[in-house]
Structure formats: structure tokens, C-alpha cells
Amino acid sequence: MDTGSMLTVEQSPDTHAALADMQDIPYQCGIGLLMYAVTSTRPNIVFAIAILSQFMCNPGRVHWEVAKRTMCYLKGTAEYGITLGGMDEGLEAYIDADWVSQPHHHSMSGYVIMLHGGPVAWSSKKQPIIALSTAESEYIALTADMREILYLQLLLKELYDEMHTSTPIHCNNQSAIALALNNKFHAHTKHINICYHFVRAHVKNSTFELRYCPTEDNVADIFTKPLPRPRFQKLRTMMTLSPAQGGVLKSEDLEVSDHV
């Protein structure tokens, strides 16, 4: 997606002519196909799909053009895939949240969980509540990430008979880390739903280890907002998404019609 691009419900058709223009456009089918790629091997497009899927009921021409752009990107990088097992660092995670970047004012949460250097779980979602600060939005994002890690810890224990007692979680917001480490900020956090304080209990018993990570090295940044191409490519590489050996696509192969 273009940096700074904004998709809204106001861009959805609201006249008979605009509705007729979109009548034969397979938007839902196209997003469904992209979702299959997202859940399988292409975590780098998860933010775009999270945004586009919000307009499934009434997509407009602008939404369809962005969807086609995403399809062209996948076609142009068809040789890219995830490399698993490149390191020996066990289970670790990166989380991020983009505060009030969308017209609906809900923050976008994103996380990626790595196992031995390769991504095994990832997500980009609109938060269910409107956060009042960047620290609060990142604190809420921590909860979703920790729930997924707990599941993976149990799965790894079942598969390999070993337990990762303290999984590192990399976060680029020191205020959110401070909120999770102690309760001295109660006056500023008492409005936060109690379910999100699930974070503190697991940090206290050392199930997770929160680590500060500069924004430049936070892989989860790719899941929360459109990024400039150099930064997008850097984070894509950090997720071990790289081209496998194969043929090179020609420019004429990158065209996507309205009837994909």
C-alpha cells in the first residue's frame, strides 16, 4: 500500500450507478484468495488484507484498485517464501500498535512470533476498543500476542517435551513495558479493561520477558501501517521472506484484470 493511503467507508458506493459499476467485480473472491496466501506463507501483506477485508460488504472502486495492487505485488514476488530454522534462538515475538492511524480511531495491532528465526504465527487486527494513548494501544496488543505464545508454548511442549519458560517479547514502547512490569501506574490505567491486565500476571511469573526494541528493528511495524518501500523490504527480509530459486516473471505477467 502507498504510504499515507487511507481507505474509508466514504469510498464505498452510495449511488445506483456506483453500485452497478461494482456489481460484477469479484472483490470478496479476490480478498478470500489473498487471505489464503496471508495465512500460509505471506505475512508481509497481512496489514493490507486486514484493511481491505473491512469493506467486504460494500467495496468501492478505490478498494478494488488497492486489492489489485496487492495481487500484482504477490505475482511480482511469487518466488518469495519463508525460510524456517535459520537460527537457534527458540521462540520469540515482536509486537507493535499504530495509535489512531485509521479514520475509525481504533488502533491497529500487529505481532509476529518467530521460531528459530522463522515466522510461525502473525496477525494484524483492529483493536476492539479506542485506546487513549500509544502506551495503552501497545499494552492491549501485548495481550493478543501473549495468548498466541501460550498456545505455542503448550504445542512445543507436546511435540518436543520441552517448555520455553520465558519467551522474549520485543516491544518498541517503553511506557507499555513499564505498565506491564508493575502496578504503580494504577491511577492512569484503572479505566483499562481487566482482561488486558492478563499481561502483568504472566510477566510477573516469568512466562514472558519483555525487551525494549528500537522501532527500526521491530519487525511487527510492517503489520500496523503502510511503509515506504526501503523499510518494507528491510522488515520483509528480517522475517526471512526471501526469493527461492526459480524463473523471473516478465512485466506482462504482472497485469491483473477486473475479473481475476
The residue count of the chain comes to: 260
The position carrying cell 511469487 is 78
Task: For 146, list phi and psi in degrees, rounded to 5.
Answer: -65, -35
Q: Is the pLDDT of residue 225 over 60?
A: yes
Q: Could you tell me where the DSSP H helices lie in 81-185?
A: 134-160, 174-181
pLDDT at res. 184: 64
Grid coordinates belonging to 86 = 535459520
Model confidence over 134-147: pLDDT tens digits? Answer: 888 888 888 888 88
Could you count the other beta carbons within 10 Å of the beta carbon of residue 247?
7
Q: Round to the nearest angstrom and report the end-to-end CA distance of the chain.
A: 19
| Per-residue pLDDT band at 163 (split at 50, 70, 90) | low
CA dist 132 → 137, 138, 224 (Å):
8, 11, 17
Of 115 and 162, the one with more pLDDT: 115
Assess whether pLDDT exceeds 60 at residue 187. Answer: no
Instruction: Give this prediction's pTM.
Output: 0.83
Query: In the predicted model, is pLDDT for residue 194 greater than 90?
Result: no
Q: Coil, strand or helix: which one is 228?
A: coil
**Residue ranges of domains in the chain, CATH in brackets:** 9-79+245-254 (no CATH), 91-223 (3.30.420.10)
